[in-house]
Structure 1
């Protein structure tokens, strides 16, 4: 796992095309141009600008030359909150292999030691048991349920909310 790079646009577009059907149940509806190298290049540029501002940390999970997962620590709030949200997905061919669990554990440690955060939050669809297991293995605890939290697959859907406290 490493920071996303401008040169990742083609590999990221290929990953989204490869996983389009698989991810459609877990993500917002995407416009057709989302699956192009050009759209991904522009998005990577925005994310890297946000990285420079300290607002997010966009990460890619790599296997050989392919991107097989995306993890993003986003919405970083400093001051007394010292918190951020975590979003992620793993390629359909790697789901259930333990890669997401290992990556989230690494991100939790990085958030604690390098980013100096106090808390990470993540949400899952109520029926996304796999993602819930990933979060629980990394020390997250469920702290609530948010009705109609995000528009996923074209429908406003409830989410379980999880957090991990990184410092006592």
Structure 2
């Protein structure tokens, strides 16, 4: 459950300016955990391009994108990404919280929302990866019932180098594929 004053809303085309402000405000906070970004990423036009791409993936059923708002300010995001149907019925989770809004239970609430969305979409499992050094994210995943299930050496190029990642998994149900 989100604390008072916070809401999660689906991503929309009009969110690009607020996302640009959030990206710029959190540039250093998120830098260790994200790929290198071009300067345009931190502008409203650059975010408009990102939003259009994500909304296209939503239309294709590959993404489920949510923004965390505090009043009229974007302070985080929560996504189901790489949604796969067929025999897998799974997705990966992704989330972040603004550096000025940490330690309020927002990441846990956002991830709990993604688990609910995964169930609503009929998914069987959710996966996540975190850099080995990202202990706060690992704690959020564990608190939400995700189980560490492996390590991939040199999995992602982040913060200027190939980084190992820990993998986490959450099985949502044991029944046959839905939908």
Question: TM bucket by the smaller chain?
Answer: over 0.9
**Matched residue, 1:40:** 47
Paired residue for 1:85?
92
Q: 2:124 aligns with which of 107, 118, 123?
A: 118
TM-score by length of structure 2 reads 0.91
Partner of 2:144: 138
- 2:23 is the alignment partner of 1:16: yes
Structure 2 Cα separation of the partners of residues 46 and 27 of structure 1: 18
User: Does 1:128 find its partner at 2:134?
Assistant: yes
Cα offsets for 1:105-129 (capped at 9, x unmatched): 12102201x1110011111111111
Matched, 1:50 2:57: yes
Structure 2 partner of 1:164: 170
List gaps (5 residues or longer) in structure 1. Answer: none
Q: Which aligned pairs between 1:58-69 and structure 2 lie closer than 5 A?
A: 58-69=65-76
Q: Would you identify which runs of 4 or more consecutive aligned residues in structure 1 move more than 4 Å?
A: none
> 2: CA distance between counterparts of 1:78 and 1:23?
30
What CA distance in whole angstroms lies between the structure 1 residues aligned with 2:32 and 2:53?
A: 25
1:109 aligns with 2:116: yes
Aligned residues: 167
RMSD of equivalent CA atoms: 0.8
Instruction: Could you tell me which runs of 5 or more consecutive residues in structure 2 were left unpaired when the two chains were aligned.
Output: 1-7, 175-179
Q: TM-score, normalised by structure 1?
A: 0.97
- Whole-Å Cα distance in 1 between the matches of residues 114 and 65 of structure 2? 11
Q: For residue 3 of structure 2, what is the aligned residue in structure 1?
A: none
Deviation per CA, 1:40-92: give whole Å up to 9, x if none: 11111111111111111111001000000011111111001001111111100
Answer whether contact 2:84 2:91 (CA < 8 A) is retained.
Answer: yes
Partner of 1:147: 153
Which region of structure 1 is more displaced relative to structure 2, 100-109 or 11-20? Answer: 100-109
Name the CA distance, whole Å, in 2 between partners of 1:16 and 1:54.
25
Asked if structure 1 preserves the Cα contact closer than 8 Å seen for 2:111 and 2:144, the reply is: yes
